Amino acid sequence: MNSEIVARLEESVRMSQSGQLEGLGVRQMEVRFTHELSYDEDRLVRQFRLLRERQQQALLDLLAR
């Protein structure tokens, strides 16, 4: 489960950094992931998005260990 969470978070970071989130539109992204994520996973992703980029990377590094 950790590896799946890390993969999803890394995808969000990559998309955010490359501007793809804006291109797809936040609403489209929400709809896309809503169907795939459990309630707790959705909460985790939302909290992750609130972190600064440095904090996101630190969390990813920690989870990848």
pTM of the model: 0.49
Total domains present in the chain? 1
Domain encompassing residue 26: 2-64
Cα distances (angstroms) measured from residue 49 to each of 26, 55, 63, 65: 12, 10, 16, 21
Q: What is the pLDDT of residues 38-63, one digit of tens each?
A: 888 888 888 988 999 899 999 989 88
| CB-count exposure of residue 13 (10 Å: 0-12, 13-18, 19+) | middle
Q: What is the pLDDT of residues 21-42, one digit of tens each?
A: 555 566 666 666 666 778 888 8
